[in-house]
Amino acid sequence: MRVLHWFRNDLRLTDNPALLAATREATELIGLYVFDERWFEEGIHNGPRISGYRAQFIWECLEDLKVGLASIGGQLIILKGNTVGLIASSFTEYECDFLSFTKHVGHEEIGDEKAIVSLLGSDKVMSRWGHTLVDIDNLPFTIEKLPNIFTPFRGKIEKYHTYPTTVESVQKQFSPISGMDSPGLSSFSELRIQPSSIDERAVLQFKGGEKAANERLRHYTWDSQALSTYKETRNGLVGADYSSKFSPWLATGSISPRTILEEVKKYEDEVGANDSTYWLIFELLWRDFFQLVALKHSHELFAEFGWKGYARDWKHNFGLFKKWIDGTTGDPFVDANMKELKRTGFMSNRGRQNVASFLVHQYKIDWRWGASYFEEMLIDYDVASNWGNWSYVSGTGNDPRKDRVFNTKLQAERYDPDGEYQRIWLD
């Protein structure tokens, strides 16, 4: 039996429930990844939806995945274009018996899933949940009854939910497929997107792939043991280990949150548990919360006034927006963070909260412009985390407080007291 696995945000062989389930009976395996044509169109901020930073990182993930699949006799095809059309045509062209994929939470992505099932027939398609720590089929509430505030969500999960364990890696050997030497894209340049080199001042030179993800997990947990001080340092701005920085690999699915959880639990058993080890799990729960929020609210997550319908008189002033993008607002803390993003594709969590608050509360610019720009620029872009956090800051989402405004001057004094971070990016 020949299986076609549609890779998206599950670019790994370890703890990939959909891939494992689909390949149990398979004798031949083809992986397929599509750089969707919509990513190269203009977003609502008047720029593309993907930058060279993220595209390059994804490409590195795919190169690593290709090596992994080849080691078990599988193949990976990389394409660019209309996702639904390319999945359907590839399924037919390569005479596949079955399609598998990991379920997504994004409104657009779920639309693709439904269209493909309609074209191929439900009897030819199998999907599994696999992008979160929690198991969606074992929640103590339905998606419709998902709490809209994080604290009661966390309380119910911690009281009633048992985290599923990781599933084994795909170990079996598949039969090689003849006549498929090098279909699809073979080099990054074929994407026709300008590559972006990460500035040497970056906190980390991120490299894509499951191998790099596991190396980062090992370094942060065991080599540096920075995990043991995570809660105290997580709001830092300078250096590789003030936070875990797992997010780019989580976003692409090069590592699963359950793999991270198991490593944290192992560390707690061997070294010791403390507030910091718990807090990393706590932050993974925040990530899960936004994944489920995206699933619950669907297209309403992207609405101008959010799923709350919180009407605001947003400005659509591109001149002010351009100052924010370029880091020329005159607010040193905001400008430093925006320059870091522009030159590296990454920004700290503390920085993201401050620049988002500045854009929506000081400039009163439509929050969706900021979310759209972050979608383009961030190496670790994830539809649920990005749009969920932006709607939260803007007051149109899950924040129980209507207008949470960050005082960027006080924030800079607290988190960059000697100005080191600002000097790095403004000098």
- Does position 364 have pLDDT exceeding 70, yes or no? yes
**Residue 396 to residue 403: CA distance in whole angstroms:** 9
CATH number at residue 46: 3.40.50.620
pLDDT 10s digits, 315-333: 999 999 999 999 999 999 9
The DSSP element (H or E) to which 376 belongs, if any, is: helix 367-377
Helices assigned H by DSSP within 254-310: 257-270, 275-297
**Residue 373 to residue 26: CA distance in whole angstroms:** 41
- For residue 5, name the pLDDT band (cuts at 50, 70, 90): very high
pLDDT 10s digits, 202-244: 999 999 999 999 999 999 999 999 999 999 999 999 999 999 9
Q: Classify residue 200 by its DSSP letter.
A: T
Q: Are residues 251 and 349 in the same domain?
A: no
Q: What is the predicted pLDDT for the residue at 182? A: 65
CATH number at residue 245: 1.25.40.80
Report the domain count for the chain.
Answer: 3
Q: Look at residues 131, 154, 186 and tell me which one is the last residue of a structural domain.
A: 131
Q: Which residues of 75-107 are buried (b: 16+ CB within 10 A; e: fewer)?
A: bbbbbbeebbebbbebbeebebebbbbbbbbbb
Q: Are residues 358 and 381 in the same domain?
A: yes
Q: Are residues 266 and 385 in the same domain?
A: no
Residue of 167 and 59 predicted with greater confidence: 59
Q: Classify residue 188 by its DSSP letter.
A: G
Hey, CA dihedral for 322, 313, 374, 236, is it positive or negative?
A: positive
Q: Are residues 280 and 355 in the same domain?
A: no
Q: Are 104 and 110 in contact (CB under 8 A)?
A: yes
Mean pLDDT, residues 142-147: 97
Q: Which of 17-31, 70-84, 168-182 has the lowest mean pLDDT?
A: 168-182
- For residue 124, name the pLDDT band (cuts at 50, 70, 90): very high
**Residue 240 to residue 320: CA distance in whole angstroms:** 32
CATH number at residue 355: 1.10.579.10
- Does position 88 have pLDDT exceeding 90, yes or no? yes
Q: In what order do the strands lie in the sheet with 125-128?
A: 75-81, 28-36, 2-7, 98-102, 125-128
Q: What is the predicted pLDDT for the residue at 293? A: 98
- Does position 308 have pLDDT exceeding 90, yes or no? no
Q: Are residues 119 and 146 in the same domain?
A: no
The residue range of the domain holding 231 is: 132-164+212-297
- Does position 358 have pLDDT exceeding 70, yes or no? yes
- Does position 181 have pLDDT exceeding 80, yes or no? no
Mean pLDDT, residues 371-397: 97
